[in-house]
Amino acid sequence: MIKDGVVVDEPAAAPQAAGRSTLVNSAVADVMSTCLMQIECSFTRGFAGMQLIGNTTEVCRDGKERARAALEGLGIHIPPRRLVVSLTPADVKKDGNHFDLPLAVSLALLLKDQPRTVAPERWLFAAELGLGGELRPVRAVVSFAVAAMAGGLEGLVIAPGNLEEVRVLADLSPTGARPLVAHSFSTLRDVLAWIFDGQTPAVVRAGRSPQRRHLPPAEVNFDDMILPPSLELAALTVGAGMHSLLLRGSPGTGKSMLAARLASIIPNLPHEEHIEAMRIYSSGAERLPDALLAGRPPYRAPHHQASAVAVMGSPDTAGELALAHGGVLFLDELPEFRRDLLEALREPLESGEIRVARAHRKVIWKSRVVFVAACNNCACGWAGSARQPCTCSSARLHAYRQRLSGPILERIDLHVNVPEPDSANAELLLRLAHHDGSSLTKRLMARVQAARTFALRRNVPLGALLNRDLPACQLLAASGLSGVDFAALVNRRLSKSASSRSVIRCVRVARTLADLSESPVIREEHLDQAWLWQAERAAQARGECFVS
């Protein structure tokens, strides 16, 4: 059954005989889909011992010893008989340490002949157990919570360390899903006291999180940086339309600084993307960063020596590209990255998804990112600089530009030349000294937000939220011009030899520039600026013969 984009089983059936059912729910999370599963215990004939069946891994099987130790600590002894613990559906691979708690609860239900005050089969349990019975946080809790909601369960029982991310989900409940209830307990003793004695959990219902109302300040922002007007316009365009960006310039011109600060002017993640980003991050981490919990877009900057798996991910692990979902992926020193990695990036950057296959497993990671890259003008870095002479031979210069060429550049919307710094540093020191409260970040964010609002009303009927996603067939409608005027404008301002891909990208960027000036129609100056940012024109402005 599929609900809200999540693959789930039918909710567990009611216990057949109250007081003796051992059925407990947990889940297996597989990247962007989650499958609810059940744990059931029973004594059978045979040699004494506990056997876990149902396609389990070593980590999962170790859980029976942790569960046994935790139960013994509470005086619940497992008799020397043959005990079978079945994890179903049997054909789904069960991996992870989060089965410890549901396993212990299922055993306690079997061994304690005592009426229950709650129906544990209506809850999803996920936590690791210490040998002393303490509950520890686990990975993928966001996915479990989404599955519990979509599967019609009452809620989930987790460790206190996982409660914060579930609180955020309560704010983001998918449409049509049940409101989320999460109980967190410190120990197995507290969980059993809740089930058998009705004792209220210490920390309980997930309510509205204060984090979305009181956003933490972005870690880095533009307040400590001087932006020349050309770079400010580029930053605004990227923030408003989520277009991709390549920054070229000499060392020390602030390319990396600018890239690292771009996420600070991008509005909070939309609800759906926020849940997706949390699920991706949660699949590999027990605790989520505060900024992501608050809905801030992520910023990831893998090193140029990073392996293809580190960037693209594997069926089990999210790569940097997926971890940047909804935010910024920055590749500094672009020509230094492996060629095959850059080639592999092309398709995900277009589609917003990474398809990874290994052995018999194929998974799809979400990866809708703003792609930002930076590079020098030559191998030594000083071509075109007034500060130092370039020492590259013409062959070396050609080889460097050759490495930068190729299809990845065609997928970049804005090619921006970063100027060398001038006396603006003094202006920055004055601004920082006066603390005049004029935050450049706030001003840029307000303009980005205004442009997004302006674009949204027009774009939604056209099938896109952002200008970068506008279908080519809707660009005329988005331009606000008549067919004749649109064709005349494009013919007049853009080169006849431009590829159709270039023209489409150019018009999308021009649409964002028009939104930034709140113009319903694309005007000549918008198209001119967008055209100036195209690869060939940006190279000509540097006085280069562009190699493509």
Residue range at the interface with Zn ion (CB under 5 A); choices 103-111, 209-217, 384-392, 503-511: 384-392
Tell me the window of 209-217, 312-320, 381-389, 416-424 that interacts with Zn ion (CB under 5 A). 381-389
Q: Interhelix angle for 229-241 vs 255-262, to 10°?
A: 30
Question: Can residue 383 be called a binding residue for Zn ion (CB under 5 A)?
Answer: yes
Question: Is residue 378 a contact point for Zn ion (CB under 5 A)?
Answer: yes
- How far is 298 from 264, CA to CA, in rounded Å? 10
Least Å from the CB of residue 389 to Zn ion = 8
> Considering the rule CB under 5 A, would residue 375 count as an interface residue with Zn ion?
no
| Total residues at interface with Zn ion (CB under 5 A) | 5
Taking the complex as a whole, how short is the minimal distance between the CB of residue 249 and Zn ion, in angstroms? 13
Contact pattern from residue 120 through residue 159 relative to Zn ion, giving x for each residue in contact according to CB under 5 A and a dash for the rest: ----------------------------------------
- Considering the complex, state which of residue 85 and residue 380 has its C-beta at the smaller distance from Zn ion: 380
Q: How far is CA 56 from CA 53, 85, 93, 96, 361, in A?
A: 7, 11, 6, 9, 17
Q: Which is nearer to Zn ion, 380 or 514 (CB)?
A: 380
State in angstroms the smallest separation of the CB of 384 from Zn ion: 9
CB 257, CB 300: distance < 8 Å: no
Q: Which is nearer to Zn ion, 401 or 447 (CB)?
A: 401
Question: Which of 104/404 has CB closer to Zn ion?
Answer: 404
State the pairing for strand pair 123-126/155-158: parallel
Nearer to Zn ion, 85 or 390 (CB): 390
Helix axes 100-111, 58-73, angle to 10 degrees: 50
Minimum CB–partner distance for residue 352 and Zn ion (Å) = 36
Q: How far is the CB of 399 from Zn ion (least distance, A)?
A: 11
Q: How far is the CB of 390 from Zn ion (least distance, A)?
A: 3
How far is the C-alpha of 231 from the C-alpha of 227, rounded, in Å?
Answer: 6
Nearest distance from C-beta of residue 401 to Zn ion, angstroms: 11
Q: Is 380 in the site for Zn ion (CB under 5 A)?
A: yes
Residue 30 CA to residue 50 CA, distance in Å, equals: 27
Site for Zn ion in 35-74 (CB under 5 A): none
Q: Which CB sits closer to Zn ion, 20 or 387?
A: 387
- Residues 386-415 as x/- pattern, contact with Zn ion by CB under 5 A: ----x-x-----------------------
Contact stretch for Zn ion (CB under 5 A) within 131-139, 142-150, 383-391, 538-546: 383-391
Sequence-separated (6 or more) residues with CB below 8 Å from residue 181: 154, 155, 156, 205, 206
Q: Which is nearer to Zn ion, 206 or 392 (CB)?
A: 392
Q: Do residues 185 and 194 make contact, with C-beta atoms less than 8 angstroms apart?
A: yes
The Cβ-side half-sphere exposure at 455, using a 13 Å CA radius, reads 33
* 13-29 CB burial, b ≥16 within 10 A, e <16: eebeeeeebbbbbbbbb
Contact region for Zn ion (CB under 5 A) — 86-94, 220-228, 385-393, 525-533? 385-393
C-beta closer to Zn ion: residue 17 or 386: 386
280 interacts with Zn ion by CB under 5 A = no
The Cα 315–Cα 485 span in angstroms is 49
Tokens of 231: 């770079």
Give the neighbor-by-neighbor strand order of the sheet with 245-248.
299-300, 328-331, 370-375, 245-248, 414-417
537-546: long-range contacts, CB 8 A cutoff, minimum separation 24: 537/415, 538/248, 538/415, 538/416, 538/417, 539/415, 541/417, 542/248, 542/377, 542/384, 542/417, 543/384, 544/377, 544/401, 546/401
Q: Per CB under 5 A, which of residues 404..463 are in contact with Zn ion?
A: none
How many C-beta atoms surround the C-beta of residue 310 within 10 A? 16
Residue 494 is encoded by which pair of tokens? 């853009």
| Shortest spacing between CB 63 and Zn ion, in angstroms | 59
How far apart are CB 383 and Zn ion at their closest, in Å? 5
Q: Quick one: 6 or 383, whose CB is closer to Zn ion?
A: 383
Chain residues in the site for Zn ion (CB under 5 A): 378, 380, 383, 390, 392
